[in-house]
Copies of this chain bind each other. A is one copy, B any other.
Amino acid sequence: MFDDISGEEAKQTLNFLLNAAVDVQMASTESIFIEKILSYARKIFHASAGSISMIEGNQLKFVTLQNDEVDIHHVIGKHKYIPLDTNSFAGYVAITGETLYIPDPYHIDADAPYKFNTLIDQETGYKTESLLAMPLQHPSEGIIGTFEILNPKDKYFHTLNIGIARNFSIIAAVSFINMHLRTSLQHSYLDTLERLGHVAEYKDEDTYQHIQRIRFSSQVIAEQMQTSKGFQEDIFHASAMHDMGKVGIPDHILNKPGKLDADEWNIMQTHAANGGSILKGSKSAILQMSERIAMSHHEKWNGQGYPNGIKGDEIPLEAQIVAVADVFDALTQKRVYKQAWPLNEALELIQHERGQHFAPAVVDAFFACKDKIIQIHRKHGFIIES
């Protein structure tokens, strides 16, 4: 293999690929990954432009176009899909698995199954002088897409590079599938978390909206408090499960139109510890946070809350935040046992409970971003202006 290159070129390529491998693997999202893959593929050939397309059903979808010479921003949206057939270079490669080198796309053999689509050149002013199209071929999944390299420099275009590019395309396909699996898994995980949050409040009316208000408000307060990005993302998902333990509360207590008597109130209060116990023992950081929120969102800063009567910073920050968001929500929205309060009265109560029910720092953050929170309430429910 690589018989026609010098040792010096092989050493350079080796060094290049080792560094590229690290950089590509460090990509945090699918789209960054795809941009990097194409960028390295272009570097191998010192090519000024290129594209990657992925198979979606019976179409090819262009997932990225890069061009160093002309602005292609306006054409990316227009040419997103082409049919998966042998009429195009990319389609031909995706179907046959062959590598296609076209020395001059404007003069193709009339017998060839594929034609050159000159539209992008016309719209951008770029001149495609030569073209290399290769399949993105996964060892077990088969061909998942193609990449095209436009105007590769002759000097870098020999057997070594075709060989490397073939290998590179396999590595890219494998990494892409791995990355895609992780993204799908992440979506599935967050989706399941969201359903877990909603299922607990399935019996209440207006539950979807309630949960949306709590998670967005909690996130906004956390952002105002300059917590880490990770904390802000986690509280968005974890706060949805704050009332998880309500699945264990009998309907006649949960939906009682009037005030609860002492026994009923005792049972109602068990929802905090119940929620904690449903959620406990997970390896998921989000579920661990949701356990702390479920357990402690009815604790009070002064130690007069439940279930454990802990106080001050014994109460996890995430639970301090959800406590404020949850009470503000309970006040401003109608419930089976009460009317909605006007905004100014609700705000007065939050302020009044600063250092009593609520953590002072959280109340301050709440007021600093209260316009955003009011906006969230308007979008996902309603609010009575004072």
**Which A residues fall within an 8 A CB radius of B?**
1-2, 5-11, 13-15, 17-19, 21-22, 25-26, 139-140, 164, 167-168, 170-171, 174-175, 178, 181-182, 184-189, 191-193, 195-196, 198-200, 202-203, 244, 247-248, 250-252, 278-279, 282-287
Contact = CB atoms under 8 A, between A and B. Distances in A.
A233 to B, nearest CB: 14
A92 B19 CA distance: 26
A250 B255 CA distance: 11
A287 B14 contact: no
B282 A203 contact: no
A22 to B, nearest CB: 5
> Chain B CB within 10 Å — which of A8, A26, A188, A250 has the most?
A188
A198 B280 CA distance: 13
Given A188-B189, A189-B185, A189-B192, A171 B283 contact: no
A316 to B, nearest CB: 19
Contact of A198 (B167, B192, B278): B278
A26 B283 CA distance: 26
11 contacts: A178-B182, A185-B186, A188-B286, A188-B287, A189-B192, A192-B284, A195-B282, A198-B278, A199-B199, A203-B247, A203-B248
A287 B191 contact: yes
Contact of A171 (B25, B191, B193): B25
A267 to B, nearest CB: 12
Contacts of A251: 250-252
A353 to B, nearest CB: 31
A22 B199 contact: no
A302 to B, nearest CB: 32
Given A192-B287, A284-B192, A171 B14 contact: no
A167 B195 CA distance: 43
Nearest to A248: B202
Given A171-B21, A178-B182, A202 B278 contact: yes
> Chain B CB within 10 Å — which of A191, A252, A287 has the most?
A191
A10 B9 CA distance: 9
Contact of A182 (B7, B13, B185, B282): B185
Contact of A139 (B22, B199, B279): B22
A188 B283 contact: yes
Contacts of A193: 192
B7 A8 contact: yes
